[in-house]
Amino acid sequence: MSHQLHRGSILHFPRSTLNPGEHYQYWEDGVLVVSQGKIEFLGAATEFFAAQPDAAQLPIEQHQGLIIPGLIDSHVHYPQVEIIASYGKQLLDWLNTYTFPAERQFANAAYASAQAVFFLKQLFAHGTTTASVFATVHPQSVNSFFEAAERYNARMICGKILMDRHCPDFLQDTPEQGYRDSKQLIEQWHKQGRALYAITPRFAPTSSEAQLAKAGQLASEHPDTFIQTHLSENTNEVQWINELFPDHSDYLAVYEAHGLVRERALFGHGIHLTDREYIGLAQAGATISFCPSSNLFLGSGLFNYQRALAEGVSVALASDVGGGTSLSMFANQADAYKVCQLQQTSLSPFESLYLCTQGAAQSMGLADKVGNLNVGTEADFVVLNLNATPMLSQRVQHSRNLSDTLFALTTLGDDRLIAKTYIAGQQVYQQGQYDVATDI
Ligand code: GUN
Ligand code: ZN
């Protein structure tokens, strides 16, 4: 199969922009041509068939719904899928009660592999094709994840958690062992196929200064890797940081002291930031992962998206499952909108979709590969079913324009919205069927 032709309505953001509501491309009748896993043509059907009259003879896949780029989840924990929706705790108690016991099981590589496959199938069923993923402290949890992602040829970021204190003994590494294991994983996986490695200190409370220094050493030895961690999620956590690191002026300064704040460094949450921390993040070109469903569910607080934007901090949307309550980047857009409403600020559906497509890719330095449907990029895309539910269908019929339709999709959408998911041109999911990819 050399060329695949897809025809339907198509929407994407081709460039980096501060105004996604003006800088999108939309074709009601569009064509997307895929060749060898990459996008070879994108444009109006009339333009395509005028230039290639013979193409009318080729097999063409006609999609009823809306084609968009594969969604990007900039912060998610694959070992926590099994504890999604765990009751009654805020961050620090939630970690001790639910998270650490769940992560213990990933010492078993067979368990980790089964969970990695389950997680990836769920991601695809929710329309997500790229994610920045926390594994556990166990190196085999990363091997299991990347092996599964490789079988689907999915562009995924993942890293081994570093933590050497303030957590159960059975989840601790040491600065030296964590460094060696991470380095070995970087050498084995980073930029192998579509895999990308993220240096992953869990968060400053569970790493000694010695371990953070080793993480910084890794970051300087492997400058093109990602960094992922947590920052200023919960007020008790911030208070704890002040006690643990009295010599640092604020939370971000702890990471800065070890060279961990730079481009492709993704900080989950960033809710309770000082003025200086916004500036530090912006100047370094680092990114905040806005995790609205998690921030609400764990009672962590309201991320100030408009403030981050005004300060020039790059922001990408994230589910943060299992703190978050849905892998759907549509459900998370809906929560993001409500978080902004509670702060009397706005978030248009174009902006929120941008934050989990082109905007996220831009933040991650991946916009030449994913996050849009530009010619030459990797053919990861999703077909949305605008008739996914009777309620959605009726609402869409009453839409006045594209913005209206998009807002209905983001507000009402979840995994039922996803009709088909394609990775590098290969279909990996069809509504309700989790095993479409035949090679797994
Ligand atoms: N802070 C440190 N670890 C975690 C985690 O696993 N989830 C969330 N939401 N916050 C964290
Ligand atoms: Zn997290």
Q: Is the CB of 255 under 6 A from ligand 1?
A: no
| Residue 440 confidence class, pLDDT cut points 50, 70, 90 | low
The angle subtended at Cα 367 by Cα 365 and Cα 370, nearest 5°, is 115
Average pLDDT over every residue of 35-47: 97
Cis peptide before 322 (omega within 30 of 0): yes
Overall residue count recorded for the chain in this entry: 440
Question: pLDDT of 115-163, one tens digit each?
Answer: 999 999 999 999 999 999 999 999 999 999 999 999 999 999 999 999 9
Q: Is the CB of 203 under 6 A from ligand 1?
A: yes
pLDDT of residue 439: 52
Domain 4-69+373-438 shares a fold with domain 71-347: no
**By alpha-carbon position, which residue is closest to atom 3 of ligand 1?**
202
Does pLDDT of 176 surpass 80? yes
139 Cβ partners below 8 Å, 6+ apart? 160, 181, 184, 185
Confirm or reject CATH 3.30.1360.120 for domain 4-69+373-438, answering yes or no: no
Confirm or reject CATH 3.20.20.140 for domain 71-347, answering yes or no: yes
Question: In the chain, where are the structural domains located?
Answer: 4-69+373-438, 71-347
Question: pLDDT of 178-222, one tens digit each?
Answer: 999 999 999 999 999 999 999 999 999 999 999 999 999 999 999
Question: pLDDT of 53-90, one tens digit each?
Answer: 888 788 899 999 999 999 999 999 999 999 999 999 99
b/e sequence 401-434, b meaning 16+ C-beta within 10 Å: ebeebbbbbbbbbbbbbbbbbbbbbbbbbbbeee
Does pLDDT of 307 surpass 60? yes
Q: Is the CB of 100 under 6 A from ligand 1?
A: no
Average pLDDT over every residue of 389-396: 97
| Residue 365 confidence class, pLDDT cut points 50, 70, 90 | very high
Q: Is the CB of 202 under 6 A from ligand 1?
A: yes
Residue 437 alpha carbon to ligand 2 centre in Å: 29
Closest alpha carbon to 301 in 334, 270, 347, 332: 270
* Full-model pTM: 0.98
